Amino acid sequence: MTATGLAAALVDEYLVGSGAITLVGLISAYGAGAIPPAISALKALFSKGELDIDLLMVVAAVAAALVGAPVEGAVLLALFSISGALEHRAMGKARKAVEALMQLRPSVAELIDKNGTRTVPVSDLKPGDQVILRPGARVPVDGLVREGEGSMDESTITGESMPVSKAPGAALHEATVNLNAVLIMEVRRRLEESTVSQMVKLVTEAQAMKAPSEQFSAWFGQRYTWAVLIGSVLAYFGFLLYDYSHELALYRAATLLVAASPCAIVISVPAAILSALSASARGGVLFKGGAALERLAETRIFAFDKTGTLTTGKAVVTGVLALHGSADELLAIASGLEKFSEHPIASAIVSEAKSRSLTEVVVEQVVSTASVGIAGRAGERSVWAGNPRIALLRGANVGDLRLRDVQASAQTLVYVGEDERLLGVITVADEPRDTSARGIRALRSAGIERVVMMTGDRRPLAELVAKEMNISEVHADLLPADKVQLVDELANSAPTAFVGDGVNDAAALARADVGIAMGVAGSEVALQAADVALLSEDMQRLAEAHRLARRTKAVIRQNLGFALTAMIALVTAGAFFELPLPLAVIGHEGGTLLVVLNSLRLLWDPIRAS
C-alpha cells in the first residue's frame, strides 16, 4: 500500500504531472506507512514507557514532509515497510520449523471398545485405551505396541530417517508414522503429556527465556533510541547554529535520525538465536531458550552419564546365577519388582521373564531408590534387587565364592535377595551407542579437552565403556548426590555440560551450566531438569549442536560489528557530508536486512546426522 502510493506519486510527478495524483499517492503512502507503526509505537510508549524504534522512522518521514521533501519521506516509509515485511518473513521462517510440529499430530484415533471400533477425538484418549494403528497412520499420543510388529518412521521427533522396528512392548511416540503393519497400541499418556505437546511447551518456554545478549540488546536498544531522538533534536539546533535554513536543518536532522537508528543492532541477536534454535530443533536438538544456546557455546567440559546415555539403555539379561532355588524363581521375583521401575536394567529383566513365560511374583509397597535398586513386599517376605548397596543395607552377604567370576567380569550386576538372604545375581549387558564414540571424538576435535564419565554402575564396566569412547576420567559407583558434587567441582574450573537420561541424573542436570537430557528414552524428570533435549539421542548431533552454538556466537559478533560500523559510517556521512535522506534510508534498511540474512545462514546450515 505504502509502496503503491509512492509509485503512483512518482509516476505522476515525473511522467503525468497532474499533481492531484501525486498528492493522493503521497497521502496514501503516508497513511499506510506511518499511521500503523505510529499507533503501536505510541501505545508502547504510554503503556510500558518503552520507546519503539519504529517511531523514529515515522518522526523522520513526517519531518521530511514538513520541510518540503514528502517524496523522500514516502521513500523512507515504503522501504521501511518492505524491509519490515521481509524481516517478518525471514523470522517467521525461523519460527516455523517448530510450529510445524503441532500440525503433525492427527486429530482423531480409532479406539477399540467392546462393540468394535469407533473414531474418537485424540483429546479423549486416556492411558490404558487401545487404539488401532493402520499402515501410514500417525501415532495419536504416546503409547506402546500391544499387538503386531512393524516399523515406524520417527523422523518427525528424532530427525532420524532410518525406520525403527517395533515389537509388542516397544514405545510409540506421538506424531511418528506407522510404515507397514497394522498395530494395536495401548495409550500411555494423554495428549497434553505426549511428546509433541512437551516439545512445543519447551519451545514456548524457550521464547520467553531470553539469552543474556538478547536482553542486553533490548536494554541497549531502549536507551539508545532515546539518545537518538534527543540527539537529533540537538543536531537540528546545531545545524541552525551552523547557519542552515530551518528547512535544511530539519531535513538533515531527519537524515541523522534515520542513519543513527539502531534497527540492525537490535535485531542482530534475536535473528541469530531464533535461526539457530530452529535449525537445531529440526535436527532433533531442542534448546529451552537462547541462554542455553549461549552457554553451550562456552562449554569447556562435557560430563556424561553412562547407562542410557553413552549406552543405548536397551539392556539385555545375559545370565542368571541362582545361589538358592532356580534361576526362574529368581527372575520371577526380580521382574515382579522391576516392572515398577523405569530403569533400562528393569526393562531387561522384565522382558527376560516374559520371554521365559514366567509368572512374576506379586510385589506390593514398592520403593525404588535411584542408583541403588528397588525393594518391596511379596506376602510375608521382603524382596529386593539392585547393586551391592542394597544387599549391604539388608545385611546380605555378597562375598559368596560362586560369585567371584561374575564379579570380576565387566558386566552390570543386579543382586536379588529375600529378607537378609542373597538369592543370586542377574547379569545385564547394555551396548554402547554407535554414535557415542564418534560424538565424543567430534567434541574433542572441536577443542573440548575434558570429557568425563559419571556413572552409578560398577567400575570395571565403566572403565571398559570409557576405554571404547576414549574417555580417561571415570567416576563410578556414584549416587545422585555424588554426581551433583562432581558437576559442581567441574563447573568451578570451567563451564560444564552434563549429559544424562535418568531420574538419578536430574539433580546433576539442573546443577550443570548446561544440562542435556536424552529426549525420547530419557525420563520425564531428566527432561524437566535439563536445558537441552537430545531427541535424536545421537551424540554426533550433540557435537553438531555445540558447533552450531559457537557459530551462532560468531554470527552475533559479525552482526553487531557490521551494524555498528554501518551506523557509524552513515552517521558520519549524515553529520558532515550532506548525505541525502534516501541514501540514509537505503543504508539503514539494507543494513538491517543484511543482518537478518546473515543470521539466516544458521538456519540453512542444519544439524546433520552422523
The contact set with ligand ADP (CB under 6 A) reads 305-308, 338, 341, 343, 345-346, 368, 371-374, 385-387, 412, 414, 455-457, 502, 504
Instruction: Determine, following the binding rule CB under 5 A, whether residue 129 of this chain makes contact with Mg ion.
Output: no
Q: Answer yes or no: 305 catalytic.
A: yes
DSSP conformation class of 310: I
Count residues binding Mg ion (CB under 5 A).
Answer: 5
DSSP conformation class of 307: I
State the amino acid at position 148 in one-letter form.
Answer: G
Picked from ligand ADP, Mg ion, none, the partner binding residue 176 (CB below 5 to 8 A depending on kind) is: none
Picked from ligand ADP, Mg ion, none, the partner binding residue 585 (CB below 5 to 8 A depending on kind) is: none
Q: Which is nearer to ligand ADP, 264 or 348 (CB)?
A: 348
- Which residue number has the CB closest to ligand ADP? 456
Residue 244 contacts by C-beta under 8 Å, 6 or more apart in sequence?
Answer: 252
Q: Which is nearer to ligand ADP, 6 or 385 (CB)?
A: 385
452 SS3 class:
strand
Instruction: Determine, following the binding rule CB under 5 A, whether residue 87 of this chain makes contact with Mg ion.
Output: no
Look-up of cell digits 521382603:
382
Binding segment for Mg ion among 42-50, 363-371, 497-505, 598-606 (CB under 5 A)?
A: 497-505
Binding segment for Mg ion among 301-309, 335-343, 381-389, 424-432 (CB under 5 A)?
A: 301-309
Strand partners, 424: 322, 416
Q: Which is nearer to ligand ADP, 436 or 455 (CB)?
A: 455
Question: Exposure pattern of 268-302 as b/e (b: 16+ CB <10 Å)?
Answer: bbbbbbbbbbbbbbbbbbbbbbbbbbbbbbebebb
Instruction: Determine, following the binding rule CB under 5 A, whether residue 501 of this chain makes contact with Mg ion.
Output: yes
Instruction: Determine, following the binding rule CB under 5 A, whether residue 307 of this chain makes contact with Mg ion.
Output: yes
Environment class of 459 (CB within 10 Å of its CB; exposed 0-12, middle 13-18, buried 19+)? middle
Cβ 479 to ligand ADP shortest distance, Å: 8
Cβ–Cβ < 8 Å for 276, 549: yes
Instruction: Determine, following the binding rule CB under 5 A, whether residue 587 of this chain makes contact with Mg ion.
Output: no
Cβ 305 to Mg ion shortest distance, Å: 4
Residue 454: enclosing H or E segment and its boundaries?
Answer: strand 450-454
Q: Which is nearer to Mg ion, 213 or 307 (CB)?
A: 307
Cβ 313 to Mg ion shortest distance, Å: 7
Centre a 10 Å sphere on the Cβ of residue 261 and count the other Cβ atoms it contains.
31
Instruction: Determine, following the binding rule CB under 5 A, whether residue 308 of this chain makes contact with Mg ion.
Output: yes
Picked from Mg ion, ligand ADP, none, the partner binding residue 540 (CB below 5 to 8 A depending on kind) is: none
Rg of the chain over all Cα atoms, to the nearest angstrom: 32
Q: Which is nearer to Mg ion, 166 or 343 (CB)?
A: 343
Pairing between β-strand 496-500 and β-strand 514-518 as defined by DSSP bridges: parallel
Site string for Mg ion, 502-531 (x = CB under 5 A): x-----------------------------
Closest CA to 105 of 68, 143, 73: 143
Closest CA to 98 of 173, 190, 204, 211: 204
194 SS3 class:
coil
Instruction: Determine, following the binding rule CB under 5 A, whether residue 371 of this chain makes contact with Mg ion.
Output: no
Sheet with 450-454, side-by-side order of all strands? 285-287, 532-534, 514-518, 496-500, 301-305, 450-454, 473-475
Q: Which is nearer to ligand ADP, 75 or 374 (CB)?
A: 374
Cβ 510 to ligand ADP shortest distance, Å: 16
Cβ 144 to Mg ion shortest distance, Å: 21
Cell of 259: 542513519
**Catalytic one of 129, 305, 430, 531:** 305
Q: Which is nearer to ligand ADP, 385 or 396 (CB)?
A: 385
Cβ 280 to Mg ion shortest distance, Å: 23
Q: Which is nearer to Mg ion, 376 or 502 (CB)?
A: 502
Binding segment for Mg ion among 97-105, 396-404, 421-429, 500-508 (CB under 5 A)?
A: 500-508
Q: Which of 129, 294, 305, 430 binds Mg ion (CB under 5 A)?
A: 305
Cell of 225: 533510541
Phi first, then psi, for residue 424 (nearest 5°) are: 165, -170
Count of residues in the chain: 610
> Would the CA dihedral through 314, 319, 323, 329 be positive or negative?
positive
Residue 204 contacts by C-beta under 8 Å, 6 or more apart in sequence?
Answer: none
Look-up of cell digits 543395607:
393
Q: Which is nearer to ligand ADP, 343 or 541 (CB)?
A: 343
Q: How far apart are CA 552 and CA 564, in angstroms?
A: 18
Q: How far apart are CA 200 and CA 221, in angstroms?
A: 29
Q: Which is nearer to ligand ADP, 66 or 398 (CB)?
A: 398
Cβ–Cβ < 8 Å for 225, 567: no
Picked from ligand ADP, Mg ion, none, the partner binding residue 368 (CB below 5 to 8 A depending on kind) is: ligand ADP
Phi first, then psi, for residue 341 (nearest 5°) are: -105, 150
Cell of 608: 546433520
Look-up of cell digits 523422523:
155
Site string for Mg ion, 253-292 (x = CB under 5 A): ----------------------------------------
Cβ–Cβ < 8 Å for 551, 602: yes
Centre a 10 Å sphere on the Cβ of residue 233 and count the other Cβ atoms it contains.
12
Picked from ligand ADP, Mg ion, none, the partner binding residue 98 (CB below 5 to 8 A depending on kind) is: none
Dihedral, 323, 324, 327, 329 alpha carbons, nearest 10: -150
Picked from Mg ion, ligand ADP, none, the partner binding residue 412 (CB below 5 to 8 A depending on kind) is: ligand ADP
Catalytic residue list = 305
Q: Which residues form the interface with Mg ion (CB under 5 A)?
A: 305, 307-308, 501-502
